[in-house]
Amino acid sequence: MSAHIPTLFLVIIMVGSLLSMSVAVITDRSKQDGVMFWAAGLGMNTAAVVFISLFQRGHVDEFSATVLATALRSCSWAACAEGLYQFYRKAPPRKLIWAPVAMVALTSALLFDQLPLRIMLVSLIIASQCLVVLSLIWTRRHETPGRGKFFLVAGLTATITLLSLRVVGAAMGASAALASVAESSQIQTISILVSLFVLILMSLGFVLISKDRADDLNRQLATRDELTGLANRRSLNEVLASEWARAKRSGQPLALAMIDIDHFKRYNDHYGHQAGDECLKRIARDIQMNARRTGDLAARYGGEEFLLILPDADAAVALRLAEGLRKSIESLDLPHAHSPAGKVTVSIGVAALDDACYPDAESLLRAADDALYRAKDLGRNQVRVALESLPPDAAEGAAPIKLVQLIWRRAYESGNTVIDAQHLALFSDVNRLLGAVLEGRQAHEVGPQVDVLLVDIARHFQEEEVIIAAAGYAGAAQHAALHRALLGKADMLVRQFHAGTLTLGELFEFLAHEVVARHILAADRAFFRHCKPRS
């Protein structure tokens, strides 16, 4: 199969010119999407064919036509690379992109009389340019929305294949047929048709990736808050309606956390609106980082208010997540001259569709909002749970546990005055901690009290071990091992509490009931008879 070569060149010139002008006309330069570079590349490729046609008609000598045509083709691929680097918002490696152009020009000039070697080297250099572009598209494929990247990959693959075949053909002695522009041949016909096909594929690819990115951006603008990047109110309403329906259908819990920046109006008035916007963005990033579970949605509710939608989270889980978020934002240490804490803090209200019954999503949202305002009324920089969301036997701020005051009775005495005094002191420590739980005290207020209790427990265990070993208790070693196990778990839970991943109520349950009450009233009774004074 062969065709009239001059006619094919004329077709490429017409198609290339039309594509170049069309792509340039539809390009919006303000988008910086790289399409204008491809329009320039199309123009340079068309100019290369023009020089070949001029040589064909005797208007330009062969040397000038060859050097200019090969250099312009290399330039067109360099422009393609520039365009894609701009599309991906990545600084282009100019030396890597444009050095091959100089190499192609020099190779064409210096090896003009050595046709096979010239064809092979020029083809390999331009193929390497295509490989650079192809590797860029491949490494950034997940950042490229839509189908345009597939057109680009197809065009580049076809070009690399064609250039590889030219290298093989030149090595096998088909140089004259590959370089001829006067005689029609099957090799030249296939080469020109593939080149025409590549121009169309690459043009479609550039236009599509630009359009797909614009469409993706429009979708994001429709669902994302422009300032913070979080979900906007429209997206929030859609997700909340969907999660509400799923929770009611499946019986799984659903929680909301309403977040408000404390004294934000004063912050804006003092530091200015630009600083206020930066503050909102910093807080939004922190909220997004804390919404780590699958399905969690962080949204800007309006102004300085944000909302977390927490699927499959009951009141206890939501409370733990909210308290962790509050601490995280406080630890940002954003200065706030008009805040009692001296830095930016947040108040959070939590409501959960668990044991509580809400008739619709709006009522759950109102409950979270009411809990937020209660947190603000009680002094800000704290988390409050909607009372309807709490189980009837739980205090706000605690996990659903049995909150029982420990009362010392004479029946609990071992007979050793040191052990009994320490047991009584531990009961008192636990009851003070219980008071903090019931009052809904903040973790940073209760932290030192927890640490003191842990130290007292460790000291008591140590002294008790010495006493019972001296008293001849046969199970002293096993009892000491039990102490080590309890202290190890207590130490781990206290660290989790300080890290914000364990609620005060959950910690109280272990320290009060497992370490103090159950251990003292059950395990310790085994050695009581060794502590009784002998009659």
- Could you read off the pLDDT of 209-218 as tens digits, one per residue? 888 888 777 7
Interior angle at CA 26, CA 25 and CA 31, nearest 5: 115
Largest CA distance in the chain: 132
| Sign of the CA dihedral with 519 first, then 521, 523, and 525 last | positive
* Spatial separation of the C-alpha atoms in residues 383 and 392, rounded to whole Å: 19
Is 396 strand, coil or helix?
Answer: coil
pLDDT at res. 452? 84
Residue 348: DSSP 8-state: E
Question: Mean pLDDT lowest for which of 44-48, 155-159, 318-322?
Answer: 318-322
- Predicted TM-score (pTM) above 0.85: no
Residues 350-362, mean pLDDT to the nearest whole number: 80
pLDDT tens digit sequence for 253-289: 899 999 999 999 999 999 999 999 999 999 999 999 9
User: Has residue 388 got a pLDDT over 90?
Assistant: no
pLDDT at res. 401? 37
In sequence order, what DSSP letters do the residues of 414-431 get, joined into one string? -S-HHHHHHHHHHHHHHH
Cα-to-chain-centroid distance, residue 215: 22
User: Has residue 392 got a pLDDT over 60?
Assistant: no
Q: How confident is the model at residue 43 (pLDDT cuts 50, 70, 90)?
A: very high
User: Has residue 328 got a pLDDT over 70?
Assistant: yes
User: Has residue 109 got a pLDDT over 90?
Assistant: yes
Residues 484-502, mean pLDDT to the nearest whole number: 88
pLDDT at res. 144? 80
Nearest to 420 by CA among 309, 528, 266, 523: 528
Q: Which helix (H) or strand (E) holds 300?
A: strand 297-302
Residue 191 CB neighbours (<10 A): 19
* Cα distances (angstroms) measured from residue 52 to each of 3, 6, 100, 113: 17, 10, 21, 17
| More confident of the two residues 515 and 356 | 515
* Spatial separation of the C-alpha atoms in residues 175 and 166, rounded to whole Å: 8
**Phi then psi for 351, rounded to 5 degrees?**
-135, 145
Please provide the average confidence, as pLDDT, over all residues in the chain: 85
Q: How confident is the model at residue 308 (pLDDT cuts 50, 70, 90)?
A: very high
pLDDT at res. 400? 37
* Spatial separation of the C-alpha atoms in residues 188 and 185, rounded to whole Å: 5
pLDDT at res. 179? 64
* Spatial separation of the C-alpha atoms in residues 61 and 374, rounded to whole Å: 88
In sequence order, what DSSP letters do the residues of 47-86 get, joined into one string? HHHHHHHHHHTTSS-HHHHHHHHHHHHHHHHHHHHHHHHH
Question: Mean pLDDT lowest for which of 2-6, 162-166, 225-229, 375-379?
Answer: 2-6
